[in-house]
Amino acid sequence: MESQHHEKSSHANHEERRASLAGELEAAASPIAREAGDPSLPGGPRRADPEVDAEADAPAADEQAALDHRQIGRRLDLFHQREEAPGMVFWHPAGFDLFERLVAAARRVLRAQGYREVRTPQLLRAPVWEASGHARHFADGMIHAAGEGPRESLKPVSCPGHLYIAHQRAPSYRDLPLRYAEFGVVHRNELSGALQGLLRLRQFTQDDGHILCADVDAARREAIRFCAALPAFYRAFGFDALEVALATRPADRAGDDASWDQAEGALRGALDELGVDHAIVPGGGAFYGPKIEYTLRDRQGRGWQCGTIQFDLVMPRRFDVAYVDAEGERRPPVMLHRALFGSVERFLAVLLEHHGVDLPLWLAPVQAWILPVSEAQAGAAEALAAELQGRGVRAEARVDGTLGRRVALARARGVPRLWVVGRRELAEGRVAVRERGGEPVSRDREDAIAGLVAECAAP
Ligand SMILES: [Zn+2]
């Protein structure tokens, strides 16, 4: 499945949506509008010492810069990119932790919905991409391995790999629906001018999943399960405004009209049954099937298409995937592609541009700083931080510098909870708790710990 992984301007957004709507096999056939982009790779040399707190005194030059995910990535020490690997990402420890929290959130949905995770090869030979249509429709986007022997290419999608697993399994109707998912590392050749931080990469992680169903009605039920979970999933990341669109048959398409009627009817039926308001994008479907798309609206009003579920009337036949029905007949399954994020890296960029450094508590790289008022409480602060860490909170004691400076630094880094421990708090078994933008509130130490542990947990 195609997950498009960038948009910035509304024009690019529209064009990208169009490209996305066209789907993976069609991506090259309907040219993606390449915005000029920022040719310079982000991630210039970092300060030698990340602990230097000069940044606390030097807030971002303007609001726009404060919401550029590359700048936030630098400020929070999440990742960098460099010309030695254009369009790819060097994840730093805090950034990779954050990346993994996104993956874990998607994994919770996969488990709840009965998917099994799989992993499939990065390099696949030319006949695979001829069967999938990529060799013809996505030729410019493929990255080929050099060397002797049959030509191999880095996968731009994981779908064929999953179909091989299904083919190998030769399922019966009792095994359906068969749900496979992969956090697949995929490669796509992008022009260097089109690369843009995490929004458009040559290597990224696509959370594609595939469902093989016995018939269209089973596919409709799967679409309902998928769509029902999405609002809460996105809300946990701080996205409340969702737009839903049903993209229907394009002029140039595979499959007969009766199949298209059924497939579009199934997706429309799923949205109607859930009572989801949606737009219709006539002709916006992929050539292989119609799709539902979810667009998130960020704080700056920009739309980002992320979640999608797509019918595929073509690929199971091309990979000779069939199931055995109750009468012992081989039948082609109805196939769906679906993704929550599309590209995990791109979703992370959108998240950073939506929130700035002030990520939701459960996602924040550091959730709490414990600040002793003076050196005398340093040991107690360290012990408190250690206790919180033991209970799963990403907490750190910060001892150096004046209290005012540490508080300012915490604000610059978006640390969501500050606990101040002075002589009086220590004597009374209390802490002064400060939430983002709030005033300090004195709380009983044990109550405060229990409360923080609960609110830091992933939803
Ligand atoms: Zn797919």
Where helices occur in 133-204 by DSSP H, the ranges are 134-137, 159-169
Write the DSSP string, 352-373.
Answer: HHHHTT---TTT-SS-EEEEES
What is the Å distance from ligand 1's center to 426 Cα?
Answer: 56
The per-residue pLDDT for 67 is 86
For residue 406, being part of any structural domain is answered with yes
- Determine the average pLDDT of the residues in 7-21: 36
At what angle are helices 216-236 and 257-274 packed, to 10 degrees? 40
Can you give the pLDDT at residue 42?
A: 35
Angle at 450 between CA 447 and CA 451, to 5 degrees: 85
φ/ψ (deg, to 5) at 226: -60, -50
Asked if the model's pLDDT at residue 269 lies above 50, the reply is yes
**Does 3 have pLDDT greater than 80?**
no
Tell me, in angstroms, the distance from the centre of ligand 1 to residue 292's CA.
14
Do residue 276 and residue 199 come from a single domain? yes
Q: Measured between alpha carbons, how far is 276 from 262 in angstroms, rounded to an integer?
A: 19
Average pLDDT on 267-285 reads: 97
How would DSSP label each residue in 213-234? ESSHHHHHHHHHHHHHHHHHHH
Q: Cα separation of 379 and 105, whole Å?
A: 35
- State both tokens at 386: 């250690």
pLDDT of residue 437: 82
Average pLDDT over residues 52-62: 45
Residue that has been written with the tokens 């030695």 in this structure: 84
Q: Give the residue with greater pLDDT, 253 vs 69.
A: 69
The whole-number pLDDT of residue 456 equals: 96
Residues with catalytic roles: 159, 188, 206, 208, 210, 291, 337
pLDDT at 136 (0 to 100): 87
Q: 431 and 335: one domain?
A: no
Round to whole Å and give the CA distance between 108 and 256: 37
312 and 398 assigned to the same domain: no
**For residue 5, is it within any domain?**
no
The model carries a pTM of 0.87
- My answer on whether 107 and 135 are in the same domain is yes
Question: What pLDDT sits at residue 35?
Answer: 29
CA distance 219 to 204: 28
- Choose among 231, 310, 318: nearest CA to 264: 310
Half-sphere exposure for 94 (CA within 13 Å, toward CB): 18
φ/ψ (deg, to 5) at 209:
-140, 155
Q: What pLDDT is attached to residue 137?
A: 85
Task: Assess whether 206 and 298 both reside in one domain.
Answer: yes
Instruction: Let me know if residue 1 belongs to a domain.
Output: no
pLDDT at 193 over 70: yes
Cα of 335 from ligand 1 centre, angstroms: 9
**Domain presence at residue 51:** yes
Q: What CATH number is attached to the domain comprising 442?
A: 3.40.50.800
Q: Point out the domain boundary residue: 302, 327, 355.
A: 355
pLDDT at 300 over 60: yes
14 CA distance to ligand 1 centroid (A)? 22
Per-residue pLDDT tens digits for 374-395: 999 999 999 999 999 999 999 9
- Which of 185, 29, 15, 182 is CA-nearest to residue 115? 182
Same domain, 385 and 451: yes
Kindly give the distance from the C-alpha atom of residue 57 to the centroid of ligand 1, in angstroms, as a whole number.
Answer: 47
Q: Say how far apart CA 448 and CA 286 lie, in whole Å.
A: 52
CA 223 to chain centre: 19
Give percent of the chain above pLDDT 90. Answer: 79
Cα-to-centroid distance, 96 and ligand 1 (Å):
25
Give the CATH number for residue 199.
3.30.930.10
**Lowest-pLDDT range of 17-26, 104-113, 219-228, 439-448:** 17-26
The answer, yes or no, to whether residue 9 has pLDDT greater than 90, is: no
Domain count, the chain: 2
Q: Which domain holds residue 444?
A: 368-456
- The reply to whether 360 falls in a domain is no
2 domain-assigned: no
pLDDT of 281 reads 97
Measure 73 CA to ligand 1 centroid, in angstroms: 29
Domain boundary among 355, 380, 401: 355
Q: Tell whether 139 is covered by a domain.
A: yes
pLDDT averaged over every residue in the chain:
88
Helices 344-355 + 93-112 axis angle, to 10: 110
Please indicate, yes or no, if residue 180 is contained in any of the structural domains. yes
Same structural domain, 107 and 168: yes
| Sequence-separated contacts (24+) of 53-57 with Cβ below 8 Å | 53/401, 53/405, 53/406, 53/408, 53/409, 55/409, 55/412, 55/413, 56/405, 56/408, 56/409, 56/411, 56/412, 57/408
Cα gap 35→11, rounded to integer Å = 9
Query: Coil, strand, or helix at residue 455?
Result: helix
**pLDDT number for residue 17:** 36
The fraction of the chain above a pLDDT of 70, given in percent, is 86
What pLDDT does residue 228 have?
Answer: 97
Looking at the structure, do residues 222 and 350 belong to the same domain, yes or no? yes
> 210 CA to middle of ligand 1, Å?
6
Q: What is the pLDDT of residue 63?
A: 65
Q: Which amino acid is at 171?
A: P
- Residue 5 reports pLDDT greater than 80: no
Q: What is the pLDDT of residues 128-163, one digit of tens each?
A: 999 998 998 888 999 999 888 899 999 999 999 999
Last residue of a domain, one of 333, 355, 377: 355
- Same domain? For 25 and 147 the reply is yes
| Statement to judge: residues 407 and 438 lie in one domain | yes
pLDDT at 16 over 60: no
What pLDDT score does 64 carry?
66
Average pLDDT for 73-99: 97
Same domain, 270 and 407: no
Task: Say yes or no: 218 and 129 in one domain.
Answer: yes
DSSP H or E stretch at residue 108: helix 93-112
